[in-house]
């Protein structure tokens, strides 16, 4: 079967891609990066999640899923590009130019949420390496400026396949449901692409997950492009930055810290920067995994 080349069917997503490709810097394999596998398939997912449950505004991201024979990796394209820019002197210069220009646009932009989604800043820090080490899942993430690593399990969704179908990007997909760590999820997977994988931590269905969302669509992943690649390296960064280390945590411990940071964001920023951001405001959203409580 010949897979379709990368297809973007969302005008906004296409615009964001064009913006970032202008500042693309090729990946350099540094000594602190380990080659885990070589990808033969690359999927792009639009990832949207609500700012809070009382507001229809969303944060948008673009996730890349690299699929190899033994290992897969899911990560934010925008965070990867921002990280690449920061690694070279020229990149830092470009980054400062983008940042200064964006600050000026912020002052006059009518739709602040639209501005935020168009600005090429760090977004999701979560990087999921499935089947690394073998039979496990290694996740790297961040809270503020601290980089974190933890081990999770594979095959962690208990799916119920349902006799319902629809088309996604021209592929006929079948419906499946599961309850995963406090949320009820609906997935649409394609048996025509016999890869038991999907965005973020999702996997375990007899076909690639093309779209998946929780009840209420607070979190929504949808495939916007797929293509075959020729032995593209799947890398694991052994150190988050030069001369630094990951903080090793238990998954639930990390989630508790992350939620505490979200709930008391103003207090944390004032402590870190010495600038008052006012009182902490109520948070009307939860993490994608809710089983930390």
Whether the model pTM is above 0.75: yes
| Pairwise pLDDT comparison (193 vs 30), residue with the higher score | 193
Within a domain: 241: yes
In a domain, 33, yes or no: yes
How many CA atoms lie less than 13 Å away from 56 in the CB half-sphere?
0
Q: How buried is 275 (Cβ within 10 angstroms: 0-12 exposed, 13-18 middle, 19+ buried)?
A: exposed
Is residue 199 one of the residues assigned to a domain? no
Q: 3-state class of 90 per DSSP? A: helix
Q: What is the pLDDT of residue 29?
A: 44
193 band by pLDDT with thresholds 50, 70 and 90: very high
Based on the structure, what is the number of domains in the chain? 1
Question: Is 46 domain-assigned?
Answer: yes
Answer whether 215's CB lies under 8 Å from 252's CB. Answer: no
Is 184 domain-assigned? no
Specify the range with the lowest mean pLDDT, choosing from 3-17, 51-65, 125-139, 161-175.
3-17
User: Is 6 a member of any domain?
Assistant: no
Range of the domain at 141: 11-156+217-273
Q: For the residues 23-43, what does the mean pLDDT come to?
A: 73
- Of the two residues 285 and 286, the one the predictor is more confident about is 286
Distance CA 142, CA 161 (A): 34
Whether 189 is in a domain gets the answer no
């Amino acid at each position: 079967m010949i897979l379709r080349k990368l297809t973007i069917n969302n005008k906004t997503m296409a615009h964001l891609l064009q913006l970032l490709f202008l500042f693309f810097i090729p990946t350099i394999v540094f000594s602190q990066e380990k080659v885990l596998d070589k990808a033969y398939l690359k999927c792009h997912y639009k990832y949207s999640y609500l700012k809070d449950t009382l507001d229809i505004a969303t944060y948008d991201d673009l996730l890349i899923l690299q699929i190899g024979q033994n290992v897969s990796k899911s990560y934010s394209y925008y965070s990867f590009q921002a990280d690449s820019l920061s690694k070279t002197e020229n990149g830092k210069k470009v980054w400062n130019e983008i940042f200064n220009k964006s600050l000026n646009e912020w002052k006059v932009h009518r739709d602040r949420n639209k501005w935020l989604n168009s600005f090429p800043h760090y977004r999701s820090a979560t990087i999921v390496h499935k089947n690394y080490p073998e039979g496990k899942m290694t996740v790297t993430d961040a809270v503020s400026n601290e980089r974190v690593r933890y081990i999770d399990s594979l095959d962690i969704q208990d799916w119920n396949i349902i006799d319902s179908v629809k088309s996604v990007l021209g592929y006929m997909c079948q419906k499946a449901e599961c309850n995963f760590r406090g949320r009820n999820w609906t997935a649409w997977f394609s048996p025509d692409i016999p890869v038991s994988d999907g965005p973020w931590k999702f996997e375990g269905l007899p076909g690639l997950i093309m779209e998946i969302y929780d009840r209420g669509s607070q979190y929504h992943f949808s495939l916007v492009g797929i293509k075959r690649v020729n032995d593209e390296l799947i890398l694991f960064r052994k150190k988050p930055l030069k001369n630094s280390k990951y903080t090793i945590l238990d998954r639930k411990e990390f989630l508790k810290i992350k939620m505490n940071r979200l709930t008391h964001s103003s207090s944390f920023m004032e402590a870190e920067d010495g600038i008052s951001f006012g009182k902490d405001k109520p948070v009307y959203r939860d993490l994608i995994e809710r089983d930390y409580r």
